[in-house]
């Protein structure tokens, strides 16, 4: 479904991605791991169209996304949950969810009921301001907002960052449900190794802008792979 092939990405003269290739498939959770600053967020931003690439290709169902702006990629079925959540603090929960309507045709502008089944707290807090929610609730809201666009590929950048363990469990369950029941392709950046090991079908480990390992989740137990993850 999603293929990134030999992607190079630069910030000015500084190269953040070097020949990076990854794939994400329907009904699978693909996890990208690596220490701080190795290029994980840059790769996700390249996939969703927020950062241009200088070399390589990114395709969705075989179609080159090069000329597609972020909203066009959202229309094609890519949902994005950015690092830090990027909730609008002064808008209500409902209004935050409705910001996901932007790329949709008017007839599709509804909030799918399964968003509230997955995260009942959002239904309870519809009228509250985004900024009044806890970090974990904001993360659920960010995932809900991405689901409003009815994605086929969901890209999540560090959804467990700064979140309490009970909500991490809820988020893990939600991600697994999206994979198993809706057959979504999930592309997940994580620093939290156990979360990845539990959820992932396929893992990629990055180091200094490159993919240094690709394999099944169990391969994370290999000490040679671990070496790339320890500080
Ligand atoms: N807007 C930017 N301008 C210049 N350099 C940047 C920019 N964004 C990221 N970088 C640099 O690119 C490299 C990769 O950063 P990136 O955020 O993609 O890594 P990361 O693996 O996601 O890290 P983290 O886990 O801290 O989010 C880093 O050296 C970073 O300093």
pLDDT, tens digit (0-9, with 9 covering 90-100), for 11-25: 999 999 999 999 999
The pLDDT of residue 84 is 86
Cα of first residue to Cα of last residue in the chain, in angstroms, is: 33
* For range 33-45, the mean pLDDT: 96
Nearest alpha carbon, ligand 1 atom 29: 37
Residue extents of the structural domains in the chain: 2-86+151-226
The pLDDT of residue 192 is 85
Distance 83 CA to ligand 1 centre (A): 12
The pLDDT of residue 27 is 97
Distance 38 CA to ligand 1 centre (A): 7
Percent of the chain at pLDDT above 90? 88
* For range 184-209, the mean pLDDT: 94
pTM, whole model, 2 decimals? 0.94
Would you say 49 and 69 are in contact if contact means Cβ atoms under 8 Å apart? yes
* For range 120-125, the mean pLDDT: 95
The pLDDT of residue 130 is 96
Q: Is 47 exposed, middle or buried (0-12, 13-18, 19+ CB in 10 A)?
A: buried
**Is pLDDT at 51 greater than 90 in this prediction?**
yes
The pLDDT of residue 200 is 96
Which fold is adopted by the domain 2-86+151-226?
A: Rossmann fold (3.40.50)
Instruction: Looking at the CA of residue 51, tell me the nearest atom of ligand 1.
Output: 1
* For range 197-215, the mean pLDDT: 95
Pick from 16, 82, 190 the residue to mutate for probing ligand 1's pocket: most ligand atoms within 8 Å of its CB: 16
Distance 42 CA to ligand 1 centre (A): 6
Model confidence band, residue 227 (pLDDT cutoffs 50, 70, 90):
confident
Residues at CB less than 6 angstroms from ligand 1: 11, 14, 16, 34, 36-42, 83
């Amino acid at each position: 479904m999603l293929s990134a092939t030999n992607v190079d990405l630069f910030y000015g003269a500084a190269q953040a991605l070097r020949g990076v290739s990854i794939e994400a498939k329907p009904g699978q959770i693909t996890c990208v791991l690596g220490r701080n600053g190795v290029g994980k967020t840059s790769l996700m931003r390249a996939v969703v169209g927020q950062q241009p690439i200088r070399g390589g290709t990114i395709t969705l169902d075989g179609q080159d996304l090069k000329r597609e702006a972020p909203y066009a990629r959202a229309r094609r079925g890519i949902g994005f949950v950015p690092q830090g959540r990027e909730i609008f603090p002064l808008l209500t929960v409902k209004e935050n969810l409705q910001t996901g309507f932007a790329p949709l045709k008017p007839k599709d502008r509804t909030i799918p009921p399964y968003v509230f089944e997955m995260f009942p707290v959002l239904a309870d807090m519809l009228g509250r301001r985004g900024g009044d929610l806890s970090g974990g609730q904001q993360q659920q809201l960010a995932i809900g907002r991405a689901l409003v666009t009815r994605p086929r590929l969901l890209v999540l950048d560090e959804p467990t960052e700064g979140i309490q363990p009970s909500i991490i469990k809820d988020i893990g369950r939600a991600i697994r449900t999206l994979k198993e029941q809706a057959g979504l392709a999930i592309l997940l950046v994580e620093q939290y190794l156990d979360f990845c090991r539990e959820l992932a079908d396929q893992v990629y480990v990055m180091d200094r802008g490159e993919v240094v390992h690709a394999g099944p989740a169990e391969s994370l137990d290999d000490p040679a792979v671990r070496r790339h993850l320890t500080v």
